[in-house]
Amino acid sequence: MDQVRVNLTLDETVWGAFARMVPKRKKSMIINDLLRREVEKITRQQEEQSLSAAFREASDDPERQVAIQEWESLDLEDWGEKS
């Protein structure tokens, strides 16, 4: 794994509590894991927002609505229902 050295500014009380709780050789690993999870969370939120925007755009497109209605009738036929 490639690594990069960083210089961060943290709230003194947060760092103090963290430093007391976490052993010396574990701080970088724990901070890295926390940041990784936060990055994954933000990425997931951005993807959900993008997908939601795409669905809204699609729902406003009359051509797509016509295509959806055409497919819905086929779906109903496959399940033995008639429209």
pLDDT at 59: 82
pLDDT tens, 19-77? 999 999 999 999 999 999 999 999 999 999 999 998 888 888 888 888 878 777 776 66
Amino acid at 40: E
3-state secondary structure 30-82: HHHHHHHHHHHHHHHHHHHHHHHHHHHHHHCCHHHHHHHHHHHHHHHHHCCCC
Strands, E, within the chain: which ranges? none
pLDDT tens, 4-24? 999 999 999 999 999 999 999
Strands, E, within 5-68: which ranges? none
pLDDT at 68: 79
CA gap 43, 36 in Å, rounded? 10
Residue ranges of domains in the chain: 23-78
